[in-house]
Amino acid sequence: MTNRSLGSQILRRFFKHRLAVVAVVMLVVLVSMALGASFSPYSPTQQDPANPFKAPTAAHWFGTDELGRDIFTRILYGGRVSLIVGLVSTLLTIFLGVAVGAISGYYGGWMDNVLMRITDTFLTFPTIFVLIILSSFLRELPYPWLKNSVLVVIVIIAALSWMWPARLVRSLFITLREREFVTATKALGGGDAGIIIWHILPNCIGPILVSGTLQMAFAIITESGLSYLGFGVQPPTATWGAILSTAQVHVYRAPWMAIYPGVMIFLTVMAINYIGDGLRDAFDPYVVHTDK
Amino acid sequence: MARYALRRVLQAIPILFILSVLLFAMVRSAPGGPLSTAYRNPNVTKEQIDLLKKQLGLDKPLPVQYVKWLGDMMQGNMGDSIKFRRPVSEMIAERIPNTLILVGVSFLVTLIIALPVGILSARKPYSLFDYIATTLTFIGQSVPVYWLGLALILVFYVAISNPSTGKPLFPAGGMRTIGGESSLLDMAWHLVLPVTALSASWAAWYSRFLRSSLMDVLHEDYVRTARAKGASDRLVYYKHALRNAILPLVTLIGLDLPSLFAGALFIETIFAWPGMGRLFWDAARGRDYPVLLAVVMIDAVIIIFCNILADLFYGILDPRVKYD
């Protein structure tokens, strides 16, 4: 038995999950492509009326769209938006969910009752319908920050997703708060906030990370879906969903427009799902690794 | 159990109330609101707008409008569509069956695929079949439903055509052939692509869920006991294990309903399927708020109702569950 820290054991288990490692590499590639978007010789919004609907060539790898814009470039810039929306809204979701779940699970009683009723209410919302209403009507309110459709999409996705991590964290806290180390810390005079943040929360990291990956996949698919329907990030900002949305109109003239943005969403979401699978196995010491 | 059901129904009332207040406030607080198109039209005079406001009751304070709207809703009067000048209840009544056909058929197809795949994967974990199934479920979970729909149109409508007639293999939209005779077969033909797109990801989720839930159950003591008593493999799997493994799936399906309706919204939009989702999408683009509010409220009622149903069903499947 070698002496290894818990962290390095988890990391070792994660790297045994070969597909998850492949997924990490793929995600790194996708992120670097989005970050390197500015190296493209084309602009994502500059129109070129002389070159609409060009099939993929050496000059335009993924062809051009109805306004002569380079689709490859637009996909790279669109990746920035999709990944930022995915990451930031996930962080926000997890933050909200952990806060609600921790308070609810740790204190119990009337506080738990009130918070869980609110959570249940949010869970019965028909998510996508409420998202569409929120997104289209918030934009019309007379506040300048609401004109930033990326920000609006991030906030509303988080506002309708925090319930899932909240329920998860609550159930973890309910069992963990009865454990001896919590009693011991209390006996030593530890305050509630300290116990919640420094003693119980670190024990929940695994499940929270896994639910974070699920949330990020959901956020990216939802953002693209909203933009696809015309209620997400607004033009001329390129996003994968928005490119797909124009592609549908021109699906006969320019089928390539519909293929690439979808492939990007698919690859990103699949990479995130596999990473989540790897994390689940890595944090679960009971998983038996057969040849995987 | 009847008391439990009644209590759940009573609990649903405040939830629906909160949802309705939030939605109403949201939809109606936007400047211009339902008349924004009229405001933008230079041919509409100020007097006409005032008249419109009076006709639609928009000149009264918001809380008054809300109470009136709620009272009307309770009596089944959902108001008139601003765009089509027709009763919303009539429009929705036309659309609900179409959505139910689409969602119902997709749900059946999902179960027909997911149950056997999940069971076979769990029976022979890490076999070739399991690897293929697992890979396919990961793909299914990651493909956005709207892109799958578009890709299916691309392949089976644009690219491949029926060699004998030269026409597309499957229609890309609508419920029936326009001008043709409406028959069940014709509708089935129109259902193929939308149902495929809609069921793919659900089948992936459910089969994966069933696999892991079955594998958990197979380690339980009662399964070992059944085996020790000499019960056949089939009996152990289908009578002892499956019955318990299916329980969490019932809850999942109940909780998952919002996403089923979300999928239907995308598919109806892409395939021009005349259902509630398509109606909602058109209404959202035209700011037809009576339609918007009605569709969301009806969907919320359906979701809550199905949640309660799933919980009750759980009790029938698992006699250990006690309602109090």
pLDDT at position A291 over 50: no
For B284-312, the pLDDT digits (tens) are 888 888 888 888 888 888 888 888 888 88
Span B150-207, pLDDT tens digits: 889 888 887 777 777 777 778 877 777 777 667 888 888 889 999 999 999 899 999 9
d(CA B26, CA B24): 5
Closest CA to A251 of A239, A259, A261: A259
In degrees rounded to 5, what are phi and psi of residue B8?
Answer: -65, -40
Nearest to B100 by CA among B260, B249, B256, B255: B260
Question: Quick check: B296 and A265 CB within 8 A?
Answer: no
The answer to whether the CB atoms of B32 and A248 lie below 8 A apart is no
What lies within 8 Å, CB to CB, of B307 at 6+ separation is: A124, B254, B255, B257
Q: Tell me, what's the pLDDT at B194?
A: 94
Nearest CA in chain A to B131: A292
CB contact under 8 A, B265 and A129: yes
Averaged pLDDT, B6-18 = 86
Q: What is the pLDDT of residues B56-112, one digit of tens each?
A: 777 778 888 888 888 888 887 887 887 788 888 899 999 989 999 999 999 999 999
Residues B251-296: pLDDT tens digits?
Answer: 788 777 777 778 899 999 999 899 999 999 998 888 888 888 888 8
More confident residue, A287 or A87: A87
Inspect the interface and report whether the beta carbons of B146 and A129 lie closer than 8 Å: no
pLDDT value of residue B126: 84
For chain A, domain boundaries? 3-36+71-281
Name the residue facing B296 among A130, A252, A273 (closest C-beta): A130
State which amino acid sits at residue A140.
E
Shortest distance, CA A50 to any CA of chain B (angstroms) = 26
Assess B26–A contact: CB distance below 8 Å, yes or no: yes
Closest-CA distance of chain B to residue A30, Å: 16
Q: Report phi then psi at B253, rounded to 5.
A: -60, -40
Separation of alpha carbons B279 and A166, rounded Å: 33
Distance between CA atoms of residues B245 and B241, nearest Å: 6
B227 within 8 A of B240, measured Cβ to Cβ:
no
pLDDT of residue A15: 85
C-alpha–C-alpha distance, residues A102 and A16, integer Å: 32
The answer to whether A274 contacts B144, with C-beta atoms less than 8 Å apart, is no
B299 in reach of chain A (CB within 8 A): yes
Q: Which residue has the tokens 């035209």?
A: B286
The 3-state DSSP class for residue A50 equals coil
Percent of chain A surpassing pLDDT 90: 37
Kindly list the residues from chain A whose CB atom is less than 8 angstroms away from the CB atom of residue B15: 120-121, 124
CATH: 3.30.1310.10, 1.10.760.10, 1.10.3720.10, 3.40.50.300. Which one for A3-36+71-281?
Answer: 1.10.3720.10
Nearest to A123 by CA among A146, A145, A100: A100
CB A48, CB A66: distance < 8 Å:
no
- Cβ contact B151–A134 (<8 Å): no
- E-only strand ranges, chain B: none
Residues of B with Cβ-Cβ distance to A140 under 8 angstroms:
30-32, 36
Average pLDDT of the residues of chain A = 86
> Within an 8 Å CB–CB cutoff, is residue B21 touching chain A?
no
Query: For residue range B23-55, what is the model confidence (pLDDT) as tens digits?
Result: 888 877 766 556 666 666 777 777 887 887 777
pLDDT at A286: 63
Report the gap between the CA of B324 and the closest CA in chain A (Å).
Answer: 17
Residue B233 pLDDT class (50, 70, 90 cuts): confident
Nearest Cα residue in chain B from A127: B258
In a mutational test of the A interface, the residue from B150, B212, B308 whose CB has the highest number of chain A CBs within 10 Å is B150
pLDDT in tens, A229-273: 988 888 778 889 988 888 887 877 778 788 888 999 999 999 999
Mean pLDDT across A47-67: 73
Give residue A292's pLDDT.
Answer: 36
pLDDT band (50, 70, 90) for residue A1:
very low
Query: Is the pLDDT at A50 greater than 80, yes or no?
Result: no
What confidence category does residue A283 fall into, taking pLDDT thresholds of 50, 70 and 90? confident
CA distance B190 to B173: 7
How high is the mean pLDDT of chain B?
84
Average pLDDT of the residues in B227-233? 85
What chain B residue is nearest to A248 in terms of C-alpha separation? B150
Percentage, residues of chain B above pLDDT 90: 20
